[in-house]
Structure 1
Amino acid sequence: MFKATKLLNQKHSENPKVEDREVKLATRPNHILEIVSSHFKNKFQDEKAEMISPFQGEPKPLEKPITPEKVRKSFNSLNNNKAPGEDEIHAELLKYGTTLLDQTIADIFNTTFNKHEKIDINGGVLIAIQIPGKRKVPRTICDL
């Protein structure tokens, strides 16, 4: 038992081996990237999937509007020294922004959801996630 645990916990310095479709070992970093990217694209991207309309039904106000405090809490959870995404906005600009920025972002989100307007974030994705420790039932975006 102890030997098995020791073997499982050993650090393996060996790099993983990646083979192409002809079962030849890929050695060039770009070739490895291409093989791995293709593999996961095939696993997680469905080319035949039907696009879902972003907004359906009549617009109605949020039951609980997004507050500047929630926006600030979200900004404070960002990590420093990370490369910006496609929007070219560094996390530090949001994290150390003023209360005016918090209010402006909260207003944009509230207006967007109340009027069923699309948020254009240059190819990015806005994902609603469950707040840790909260009940596991469907909730509105304002609970984030």
Structure 2
Amino acid sequence: MIAQGTCLLALDENNGGRLVGFVLAGAQFPEDVEQHRIGAEKMDQNTWGNTSRMLSKIEREANIFERFGVSKVLYSHITSVATSMRGRGLGSRLAATLMDVGRSKGFPAMVAYCTSFYSARQKEALGMQCVHSLAYADYKDAEGRPIFTPFAPHTMASTM
């Protein structure tokens, strides 16, 4: 992703250039959806494996490539902002800048899988639309127990 020129860093110039936020993003193509499913299914039964399987399920159900008739998207994988910098609009500025980067590189759409109420709300405020969601309470293990039980208001994982 770094080689694609689609990742961003936010540095605090008033604090010696300290890293205070970043976005990992990269190109995604239709064939990646099946590769993600296969990779996720091979992962261990731990938090990372469970998260990967859930995101793969959401990715398949959202069906972005067919839904929008596109052959590539800019996929915003992770956005992180230092705790000390939250609430100042830095995450929104990073996402808006990523949209600009995507446009300049010819991406017809940007996709983000938001696992937090706040990240989905942020993307919506930037003009993105929710095209699919999965309630955490509905994502269950083989015994019928929810795999993830985050505190409210984080009740859904959304494809934006």
Q: TM-score, normalised on structure 1?
A: 0.25
Structure (1 or 2) with the larger CA radius of gyration: 1
Q: TM-score, normalised on structure 2?
A: 0.23
More strand by share: 2
